[in-house]
Amino acid sequence: MTEEEQRYITDYLSGNLAPEERKRFSEWLAERPERQEAFREMGRTVLRARWSGRWAQTDAVKAFARVQKRLHARRLYRRMVQYAAVVLVAATAGIFLLWQEGTPTETPLVSTLPHPDNHRPVLTLHNGQSIVLSNEPQQVIAGTPAIDIRQTDSARLEYTPVSDTMDSEIHYNTLSVPKGCEFSLALADGTRIWVNAGSTLRYPERFAPGKREVFLSGEAYFEVARDTANPFFVKTD
């Protein structure tokens, strides 16, 4: 990959492209699998740097050179990559890309929720109950006859199906992460999400057949469980 191509990806990740340029970038990226693989790796590098507060001091091209070395070493594992789509969404920078499964055109249905005054994430259930997520692992903290919700460590939730029965109504939960911390969760379909500080994610306890859809205000990193019959969409403010 040329230095010009590296800069192009870096400009996209940094939010330096206009809306029309971002559209052309998505088309350019879709032309070659190696560009997509490089973008996934660079996205991980950028997100880790941003979350650690070092992005401003990171030389993008040098970081990309390190990424390229890792890519070369991982060619034998390319088959494994096919089982997960990786989505990097940074709504504040206007970055939006969905791998393999298209881009939704509907208007986002979620707005920014106020973050709690405390310094711990808050899980709001579909019935309005709010649960402050503690620093300690807990057993089942909530759920339905079909889903258990567990906090498996100080910064992780897991949604585990316990029955094949599907409720006729979709129940949405909201995870609000205040500034100063991050939080991760594993959805019932196997998708893993890392939610950045100052961000809010609204998602169903269990996806209905047809499409998987979540709503993001802020920034998060997604590793989407592959399911071509049920495409995954992220809607942002």
Give me the number of domains the chain comprises.
Answer: 2
CA distance 137 to 130: 17
d(CA 205, CA 36): 30
**Domain-embedded: residue 114:** no
> Does one domain contain both 62 and 128?
no
Same domain? 127 vs 63 = no
66 and 141 in a single domain? The answer is: no
Indicate whether 228 and 142 sit together in one domain: yes
Q: Which residue has the higher pLDDT, 233 or 45?
A: 233
Q: Are residues 150 and 229 in the same domain?
A: yes
- Summarize the confidence of residues 79-83 as an average pLDDT: 37
Residues 136, 120 contacting (CB under 8 angstroms) = no
Whether residue 127 is found in the same domain as residue 185:
yes
Residue-level pLDDT at 133? 87
Q: Which segments of the chain are extended strands (E)?
A: 84-90, 122-124, 130-132, 140-143, 147-153, 156-161, 172-177, 183-186, 192-195, 199-204, 212-217, 219-225, 232-236
Q: What is the pLDDT of residues 18-41, one digit of tens each?
A: 878 888 888 898 888 888 888 877
Domain contains 225 = yes
Residues 50, 42: Cα–Cα separation, whole Å:
12
In a domain, 93, yes or no: no
DSSP state, residue 108: P
Together in a domain, 64 and 127: no
Tell me which of 28, 58, 82 is where a domain ends.
Answer: 82
Task: Specify whether 217 is located in the same domain as 148.
Answer: yes
pLDDT at 62: 54
The verdict on residue 87 lying in a domain is no
CATH of the domain at 190: 2.60.120
Let me know whether 133 and 231 are in one domain. yes
- Asked if the model's pLDDT at residue 84 lies above 50, the reply is no
In-domain check, residue 67: yes
Question: Has residue 90 been placed in a domain?
Answer: no
Q: Which of 82, 97, 113 is the last residue of a domain?
A: 82
- Are 190 and 225 spatial neighbours (Cβ–Cβ below 8 Å)? yes
> Which range of residues forms the domain containing residue 53?
3-82
Residues 129 and 189 in one domain: yes
Indicate whether 161 pLDDT > 90: no
The answer on 165 and 61 residing in a single domain is no
Q: Which amino acid is present at 15?
A: G
Residue bearing the bigger pLDDT, 154 or 72: 154
- Report the pLDDT value the prediction gives residue 181, as an integer from 0 to 100: 83
Residue 96 resides in a domain: no
Q: Which residues contact 235 (CB under 8 A, 6 or more apart)?
A: 104, 106, 108, 109, 110, 213, 214, 215, 216
Residues 130 and 74 in one domain: no
What is the token pair recorded at 110?
């979620």
Say yes or no to pLDDT of 85 above 50: no
Of 69 and 113, which is predicted with more confidence?
Answer: 69
pTM value > 0.95: no
Q: Pick the last residue of a domain from 53, 82, 111.
A: 82
